[in-house]
């Protein structure tokens, strides 16, 4: 993959970029897409105090992918990875792993020692689950019928 750069601070153009990436992925329904975009908007409005942190990968001014993560309220050093998404044209080229690694380094700098990721048990998410497992995440819990009947919530964790 050609060289991409990483940045933490969202800018207003990221609202449209994140919306496009989430919509184009085929993984997220309309409501989920709105939630993903709203976290960028909240960070732009409230700053770091909102508790949402980002890593954006871009090349020639185009956002190729991003992550959103933050500390889990009420815990000493646990973080959630809320979102990780890569533009369809750049999937399978290592960018997701680079974004995840950047996010984990930032979480560690912020005192994080454990990262939690939730995902669906449906067949659509087999590649997602494989990605997490390849990157050192272990399945910690499964909540039956969480999202819908037959769609379990899978909770992955990685100690940093």
Give the tens place of pLDDT for each residue, 49-90. 999 999 999 999 899 999 999 999 999 999 999 999 999 999
Element (H, E) at 60: none
> What percentage of residues in the chain have a pLDDT greater than 90?
96
Per-residue confidence (pLDDT) for residue 2, from 0 to 100? 57
Per the structure, the count of domains in the chain is 1
CA distance readout (Å), 8 to 61, 116, 120, 121, 145: 14, 20, 27, 30, 35
- Residue 144 forms part of a structural domain: no
Task: Establish if 60 belongs to a structural domain.
Answer: yes
pLDDT at residue 4, as a whole number: 80
| C-beta separation of 116 from 78 below 8 A | yes
> Which residues, in sequence order, are CB contacts of 81 under 8 Å at separation 6+?
67, 68, 69, 100, 103, 115, 116, 117
46 lies in some domain = yes
In a domain, residue 128? The reply is no
Nearest to 130 by CA among 78, 90, 92, 76: 92
CA dihedral 135, 59, 33, 150 (to 10 degrees): -30
Helix, coil or strand: residue 72: coil
Find tokens 């601070």 and name the residue. Answer: 9
The answer to whether residue 135 sits within a structural domain is no
Kindly give the parts of the chain with pLDDT less than 50. Answer: none
Cβ neighbours around 38 below 10 Å, total: 13
Three-class DSSP category at 119: strand
In a domain, 154, yes or no: no
SS3 137: coil
Answer whether residue 147 is part of any domain. Answer: no
Q: Rounded to an integer, what distance in angstroms lies between the CA atom of residue 83 and that of residue 87?
A: 13
Residues of the domain holding 44: 5-112
Query: Does some domain include residue 122?
Result: no
Maximum Cα interatomic distance, the chain, rounded to a whole number of Å: 43
Q: Which helix (H) or strand (E) holds 104?
A: helix 95-109
Which CATH number is 52's domain given?
A: 3.40.630.30
């Amino acid at each position: 993959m050609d060289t991409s750069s990483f940045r933490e601070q969202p800018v207003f153009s990221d609202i449209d970029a994140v919306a496009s990436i989430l919509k184009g992925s085929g993984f997220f329904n309309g409501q989920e897409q709105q939630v993903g975009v709203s976290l960028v908007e909240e960070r732009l409005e409230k700053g770091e105090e909102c508790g949402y942190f980002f890593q954006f990968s871009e090349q020639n001014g185009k956002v190729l992918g991003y992550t959103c993560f933050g500390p889990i309220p009420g815990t000493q050093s646990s973080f959630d990875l809320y979102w990780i998404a890569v533009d369809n044209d750049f999937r399978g080229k290592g960018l997701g792993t680079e974004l995840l690694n950047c996010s984990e380094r930032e979480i560690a700098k912020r005192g994080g020692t454990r990262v939690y990721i939730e995902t669906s048990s449906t067949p659509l998410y087999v590649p997602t689950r494989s990605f997490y497992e390849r990157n050192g995440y272990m399945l910690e819990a499964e909540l039956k019928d969480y999202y819908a009947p037959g769609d379990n919530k899978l909770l992955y964790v990685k100690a940093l």
